[in-house]
Structure 1
Amino acid sequence: MEANDNDFSDSPRSQQLDGEDRLSMLTDDILLSILGRVSSLIATRTSVLSTRWRHLPWLLPELSINVEDFLSAPRADPIEENDMEQAMASLTKATRSLLNKQQRESTISSLHLNLYSINTFLCEVGPLIGDAIDSGLLKDLDLSVLDETDALARTEEDMLQRAQEIDSFFSAYPSVLHCLTKLFLKNVGFDKLDMHHVLFDCCKQLQHLSLFHCDTGSYSLFKIDAPDSKLCVLEIEKCRFVRIDLVCLPKLEKFLCETWVSEYAPVTFGFVPSLGDLELSCGSNCDQREFKLSEPLYGVTSIHTLTLDFQGENLWLQPEMEELHTAFSKLRKLSVWEHVCDVGEGRLASYLTRSTPWWERHLDNSSENKLLKELEFAGFKSLEHQFTFIRSMMERCPNLQKIVLMGDEQCSSCDALMSSRPSKFPNRKEEQEMVVKRIRDGMFSPEIFFYE
């Protein structure tokens, strides 16, 4: 009998139960910390497996409800409308349960909600969120209105319809606007609505705004003048604005602009005293003209992190150190990016044969940057103009401590390209030593790192 008891105590089943008992002995705050690292769907599914865990999802201070978690697996490509409807039905049910005031034992500091605006589901989710806000149950809302349709497949009418649906949602549940801290919109055309009023006058708590393929009318000017706005991060990607004029955004810390349609500089800055992180990314098209980096940065004085990805096109080939001296006076980190995938199939052949102009150095002795500590260079290929640029930066940045040289990120397009064009990234030790020697020759020696 004793032998049987000992055998059972050493069995896998016994060890599993022992592990579950030890987990159950943990306090609620530790268990909540564990559940807080996964989506609300996984947290809920996990909790039903144990009586000890069952109440925990209604104690989580932050909730993350993503409609993509409710899509059936394997996920179709493209995702069919019926699948999206079923996922939204499940999301609505989960939201209703997790926001249930009878079960909820504490307030929700933040709700991250990703959903589709199809059929009447916005009208079903809206009152759930509105009631939670009005009752004081929900403090902050992070809302993403997703769209699985490719941007190029959306017509003007589609974009206008999406804008009308979203505007109706906000109008019906105004409390949503009052606690909205982060918003992502895709394929929305606001040309018949007052986009500025909705986003900056009504969303008084908005701190992070991301717009993907949105506009206020094709090739229109988008002017933001919001002195009372709390917006810290603004991301504009593939939007059809002829230009964005940031007249006044006093709290803006980061601005990203990727793939614009304007033939000139895509943005102008007015009063943006907190702007420190700037990313500009776009390949040229036949209608775009060259512009100087000093043009959009006129009057900007606080940039500390700059990321440029122009795919070797139309910018910066002749540095304007004197003109950029004020804008870059606080620059600490510079990333220069060139990824072969970015050029697109239509320009792939020309990329293979394109010769990049020499980095001309008309730098006066006064154009120093004593704050720049790190330089990242993606797409490094041991090309002469790259060495010239790096040494130019070293000459003008006496406190530079770290140089990171990176190859191209790999993907199917890159693999196809590399098969016809061997990589020039220095992989072998002797190649890297040669690169280090060329960079450091006769100059101070920051640390140099290589990442393929």
Structure 2
Amino acid sequence: MQIEAGNGDRLSELPKDVLLNILERVDTLDAVRTCILSSQLRNLPTMISQIILVPSNRDLLRMNGVLAQLINKIFNTRSQQITIRKLKLTFVLTPNDSRSIGKSVGLAMATHKVDAAEFEIVTPKNSYHCTHADLLNFAKQFSSFVADCPDAFAGLTRLQLQNLRFGDSDIPNILSTCKRLESLSFFECDAGIRSVLQVEHAGLVELSITYGEFQTVELDCLPKLQRMTYNNWPSDENPLVLGFAPQLSKLSLANACLSDKTLMMSQLLANVQTVSDLYLDFRSEKIWIQPECPRVLAPVLGQLRSVNLDCLPEECDITWTMFLLEAARFIKDFCITVWDHKCGSESQKSYSKITDVKWEPSAPNFKHKNLSKLTIYGFQSDGNFMGYIRRVMEAAVNIKEVCLYDRKVCKLCTDKFPHSEVRPSTYPRSCKEKDSLRKKITEASVMMASPAVIHFRS
């Protein structure tokens, strides 16, 4: 924002409600900096309904003390009659600054109406440089922070944590303190190697766990949970136990399988039959779910509407994915990504030997009446993909759209493995090639949908 010299600035001449609307669209720190330049605007930061202070990663540590002072000043000069619709703070876990921020926020919770409040708490070291001692020390600091500022945490609706190794009772204490919590995110957090996390909370709507050393995560009693994400579990055991979560609708799981163990969806979802959106990321490694008989699986997939299977290894026949269509008769949107995306791996070689997944079709004349869209990323004009699309189109009698994309490209993969052998793409380029493939897919059956539903996307 630029203040003009001369007979006053144009920004100051705007109505107060318009000015507040403008200021709430930028980071609160930028709003404060702008308002300092004009005496007419200096009181406006204390009147905004959204307080968002999220310094860049580069400035986080440097700005921590400034952030604590600014928050204290804003709350001390703010009218208690003005509702805080959203409070979002990102800061570094340091004893003095964190306590100052927590005390200011706790006072605001006690004296103001706060609709939504979020803490994203970053540790001074990133996960790559954290030792076991660091994880324990950071968790001890955080637990002391919660004990010192219970009013602040009691009013939080969203909490993001990283790089913490808690004691046995720490996580239950945090959950019981954060009574209004709706969203909880753990990154590289656990309670020790091969620990078990048991989660109970009356209001939690969203739970996300990425990395960490939990042997198992048990969702014991989460009556309002709707979204669950679990990425990169380390154990060969069943990583997730879904207990009482009657509203769970979106489940996202991602892992590079390190063993021959596989998950059975019928067991995983036995107590939760409400999932409508399923996302599974295989990280271009071995397939870690087991195809099951539709008769066994159908009862737990009755609400499933959308399926996204990401990063299937290119060496694997994709026909096995049909078992989900056979079991979940109400799926409308089915997406598959075939991609050897390896830059996140320790080496170019797969962690585990990739073998084709064994799948037995339930019935030769199987029909699916609800699938309307099939999307494939990584399509190649070979028998693996051509036969699969034909099989799906023969079964999906009401399909409206088949969207086919070429392989995804990752610059990091290319840089990390410059000499790797990449098979040439056989994705069709010309209109003639595309028309020819459409005809090849659909010519075998008069009962199949029109070739016009097949779209090659760039």
TM-score relative to the length of structure 2:
0.80
Alignment of 1:36-435 (within 5 A): 36-68=24-56, 71-72=58-59, 85-102=61-78, 106-136=82-112, 138-147=114-123, 149-199=125-175, 201-226=176-201, 229-285=202-258, 287=259, 289-310=261-282, 311-316=284-289, 318=291, 320-338=293-311, 339-342=339-342, 344-350=344-350, 357=356, 360-364=359-363, 370-382=369-381, 384-395=383-394, 397-406=396-405, 407-414=407-414, 420-422=421-423, 424=425, 426=427, 428-430=429-431, 431-435=433-437
Distance 1:369 1:299 in 2: 26
Q: How far has the Cα of 1:142 moved from its partner? A: 0.5
1:80 is aligned to none
Residues 80 and 111, structure 2, Cα contact 8 Å, conserved in 1: no
Distance 1:423 1:106 in 2: 62
Distance 1:330 1:438 in 2: 34
Residues 111 and 141, structure 1, Cα contact 8 Å, conserved in 2: yes
Encode CA deviations 1:261-290: one digit per residue, 9 max, x unaligned.
1113311212222111111111112x4522
Residues 253 and 281, structure 2, Cα contact 8 Å, conserved in 1: yes
Distance 2:442 2:17 in 1: 53
Distance 1:343 1:68 in 2: 25
Structure 1 window deviating more from structure 2 (268-277 vs 98-107): it is 98-107
Q: How far has the Cα of 1:112 moved from its partner? A: 0.6
Cα distance change of structure 1 residues 61 and 241 upon mapping to structure 2, 3 Å threshold: same
Gaps of 5+ in 2: 312-338
Q: How far has the Cα of 1:327 moved from its partner? A: 2.6
1:444 is aligned to 449
Residues 381 and 428, structure 2, Cα contact 8 Å, conserved in 1: no
Q: How far has the Cα of 1:195 moved from its partner? A: 1.0
Residues 334 and 375, structure 1, Cα contact 8 Å, conserved in 2: no
The amino acid of 1:278's aligned partner reads L
Distance 1:154 1:138 in 2: 35
Distance 1:149 1:393 in 2: 49
Encode CA deviations 1:91-140: one digit per residue, 9 max, x unaligned.
11222233233578723122111111024211221211111111125443
Residues 333 and 375, structure 1, Cα contact 8 Å, conserved in 2: no
Distance 1:19 1:372 in 2: 62
Residues 190 and 216, structure 1, Cα contact 8 Å, conserved in 2: yes
Cα distance change of structure 1 residues 246 and 399 upon mapping to structure 2, 3 Å threshold: farther
SS of the counterpart of 1:326? helix
Encode CA deviations 1:312-357: one digit per residue, 9 max, x unaligned.
4133474543333123222222212114334644341449x98662
Q: How far has the Cα of 1:208 moved from its partner? A: 0.7
SS of the counterpart of 1:99? helix
Identity rate of aligned residues, in percent?
Answer: 26
Encode CA deviations 1:165-188: one digit per residue, 9 max, x unaligned.
111111111111221100111111
Cα distance change of structure 1 residues 96 and 436 upon mapping to structure 2, 3 Å threshold: farther
Distance 1:103 1:243 in 2: 47
Aligned-residue Cα RMSD (Å) equals: 3.5
The amino acid of 1:144's aligned partner reads E
Cα distance change of structure 1 residues 439 and 337 upon mapping to structure 2, 3 Å threshold: farther
Cα distance change of structure 1 residues 375 and 196 upon mapping to structure 2, 3 Å threshold: farther
SS of the counterpart of 1:63? strand
Residues 269 and 300, structure 1, Cα contact 8 Å, conserved in 2: yes
Cα distance change of structure 1 residues 391 and 211 upon mapping to structure 2, 3 Å threshold: farther
Distance 2:266 2:61 in 1: 48
SS of the counterpart of 2:67? helix
Distance 2:362 2:234 in 1: 32
2:331 is aligned to none
Cα distance change of structure 1 residues 414 and 320 upon mapping to structure 2, 3 Å threshold: farther
Distance 1:142 1:433 in 2: 52
SS of the counterpart of 2:299? coil
Distance 1:29 1:19 in 2: 19
SS of the counterpart of 2:45? helix
Distance 1:17 1:435 in 2: 68
Q: How far has the Cα of 1:447 moved from its partner? A: 4.4
Cα distance change of structure 1 residues 348 and 263 upon mapping to structure 2, 3 Å threshold: same
Structure 1 window deviating more from structure 2 (322-331 vs 421-430): it is 421-430
Residues 246 and 270, structure 1, Cα contact 8 Å, conserved in 2: yes
